[in-house]
Amino acid sequence: MQISDEVSRGLGPSYPTRPTAPDVQKPYPTAIRVIAVVAAWLVPGAGHFLLGRFGRGVLFLVLIGGSFVLGLSLHGRLYAPVADPLTLFHYDLISVLWSFAQLGTGLCYILGHALGFGAAYRPGAPTYEYGNTFMFLAGLLNYLVIHDAFDIAAGRKR
Amino acid sequence: MHLLMMSLYAAITAIVLAAIEPRTREMKSKVFHGLKIFGAFLGIGLVLSWILFPIPW
């Protein structure tokens, strides 16, 4: 069986040795990456807006912002770390974890505390736990969205 | 009420996870991926609720 001849040997070098990766694009400058990540944390979807992914930006803003507002309207609680001098770390670890989860919503969390929404929780309400869960969901999903915005800015995905 | 909230939770999570999934790029495969996540959330939730229901705690 003939494997190569003069013609095929001449064609060889004209083909790329490695297949091009269509999902990879040129990375944005470092300043844009930092701004995109901070914006994505402050306002869900804002990082994608900055990077020109308007559809995904609107989707994340509606879903994550909506989840946070739904949680508040269901009488959920905006957590803040609670000091507990009797424990090893001097803080109630559950409240620290819940606060970290909700902190992912950025301005929603900060403004919620500043405007006093965090004080309006009602543990006796039947929807209290649902409200908490939706606010945790909003924050944790936004951490993933921030990571997605960073990956786009770094040129790792489209 | 609980099933409605669980469905809403699953839908929000499935849409966001499908949107940021890097391996699927076409809209059709993203929708399919989202539906799989949504179904997994609901299915596992219902199965777990049936398993945990008889346990008295």
Find all residues with CB under 8 Å of A28, minimum gap 6, and list them: A36, A51, A153, A154, A155
- Residues B15-21: contacts with CB under 8 Å, at least 24 apart: B15/A59, B15/A63, B16/A59, B16/A60, B16/A63, B16/A64, B16/A141, B16/A144, B16/A145, B17/A144, B19/A56, B19/A59, B19/A60, B20/A144, B20/A145, B20/A147, B20/A148
**For chain B, how many residues are written?**
57
Amino acid at position A141, single letter = L
**What gap in Å lies between CA B15 and CA B20, rounded to an integer?**
9
Let me know if residue A48 belongs to a domain.
Answer: yes
Give helix A93-103 / helix A128-153 axis angle, nearest 10°: 50
Say if the Cβ atoms of A158 and B12 lie within 8 Å. no
Q: Using the 8-state DSSP alphabet, how is residue A29 labeled?
A: P
Contact of A109 with chain B, judged by CB distance below 8 Å, is answered with no
Burial class (CB in 10 A: 0-12, 13-18, 19+), B20: buried
pLDDT at A12: 53
Q: Using the 8-state DSSP alphabet, how is residue A49 labeled?
A: H
pLDDT at B54: 86
Mean pLDDT, consecutive 10-residue stretches, chain A (158 aa), reads: 60 52 71 92 93 92 94 88 79 87 92 82 84 94 94 86
Contact of A43 with chain B, judged by CB distance below 8 Å, is answered with no
The total number of structural domains in chain A stands at: 1
Let me know if residue A86 belongs to a domain.
Answer: yes
* 3-class secondary structure, A83: strand
Let me know if residue A128 belongs to a domain.
Answer: yes
Let me know if residue A96 belongs to a domain.
Answer: yes
Q: Which residues of B touch A59 (CB under 8 A)?
A: 15-16, 19
pLDDT digits (tens, 9 = 90+) for B23-49: 877 888 889 999 999 999 999 999 998
Let me know if residue A17 belongs to a domain.
Answer: no
**What gap in Å lies between CA A1 and CA A22, rounded to an integer?**
35
From the CA of A7, how many Å to the nearest CA of chain B? 38
Say if the Cβ atoms of A144 and B17 lie within 8 Å. yes
User: How much is the pTM?
Assistant: 0.82
Let me know if residue A3 belongs to a domain.
Answer: no
Say if the Cβ atoms of A144 and B22 lie within 8 Å. no
Find all residues with CB under 8 Å of A123, minimum gap 6, and list them: A77
Let me know if residue A81 belongs to a domain.
Answer: yes
Could you tell me the residue range of the domain that residue A84 belongs to?
22-153
What is the interface pTM, i.e. ipTM, of the complex? 0.86
pLDDT at A1: 55
Q: Which residues of B touch A151 (CB under 8 A)?
A: 22
**What gap in Å lies between CA B13 and CA B22, rounded to an integer?**
16
pLDDT at A144: 95
Burial class (CB in 10 A: 0-12, 13-18, 19+), B13: buried
Q: Which residues of B touch A44 (CB under 8 A)?
A: none
Chain-centre distance for alpha carbon A142: 3
Let me know if residue A13 belongs to a domain.
Answer: no
- Copy the structure tokens of residue B19: 């949107």
